[in-house]
Amino acid sequence: MPDINTARTTELSSSRSLFRSTLLAAAVAIVLLVTVVLPAEYGVDPTRVGRLLGLTSMGKIKVALAREAAVADSVEAAARQTTAAGPTDSPGGAGTLPVPSAARTVPPVIGTPAVNPPSSTHVTEIVLRPNEGKEIKLVMRKDARVNYSWATDRGVVNFDTHADAPGIKYHGYAKGTGKESDEGVLVAAFDGAHGWFWRNRGRMAVVVTLRTTGDYQSLKRIK
């Protein structure tokens, strides 16, 4: 006749082992989620382990690429809608992001109203693979001013701040090599497209984040 007490003890031991195994598996899954999946897929690294493993940068690049794809899709959709609606007077073409501009009226001084120039703001991210170059241009009128700053997420890039217009192939403002960031005020020398070209001469992909605020009509990504 089997020992009933022994059988019950064996069943309890098996249940406890299963419960411990389940808890261990859940703990391992949470650790992998926080240290590997979040940094590699979304660039989120609460433990900083992803940075040590080189996963956080990869995640940030994935997110930036997804944003670029979303912007490209929205631009294409807008272009299709514009084509369907008929011709417009927009200064940009494909790849142009229209910028809503609103003039703000300042309280009058001695009976004369003063109006600030239109102000536009963008935060733009571009991904530069090894030896890849990309360009951002702002459509600006002569003497318009834009405050700007740009920085890389890691590493350095070469840059060329310049402008062009019909009849003007190239007008240089500034150049640099091996730079992590730059900032200043861009004053348009003439009506045309004014902006920045970056090239990544490193061995790993780099994300450049550009912030612009000022008087410009549109922002264009030029590959």
pLDDT digits (tens, 9 = 90+) for 29-64: 787 777 777 776 777 778 777 677 776 766 677 666
Q: Which of 33, 55, 89 is the last residue of a domain?
A: 89
Q: Is the CB of residue 91 less than 8 Å from the CB of residue 211? A: no
pLDDT of 96 strictly over 50 = no
Confidence band of 120 (pLDDT split at 50, 70, 90): very high
* Number of C-beta neighbours around residue 161 at 10 A: 18
Strands (E), 18-167: 96-98, 105-109, 112-115, 120-128, 133-140, 145-152, 157-165
**How far apart, in whole angstroms, are the C-alpha atoms of residue 37 and residue 201?**
29
Mean pLDDT of 177-189: 96
Mean pLDDT of 150-154: 95
pLDDT of 90 strictly over 50 = no
Confidence band of 148 (pLDDT split at 50, 70, 90): very high
The conformation of residue 19, written as its DSSP 8-state character, comes to H
The residue segments making up the domain with residue 45 are 1-89
pLDDT: is 14 or 157 the higher one? 157
Instruction: For residues 135 and 196, state if they share a domain.
Output: yes
**How far apart, in whole angstroms, are the C-alpha atoms of residue 186 and residue 214?**
9
* 52 part of a folded domain: yes
pLDDT of residue 28: 77
Q: Which of 38, 64, 89 is the last residue of a domain?
A: 89
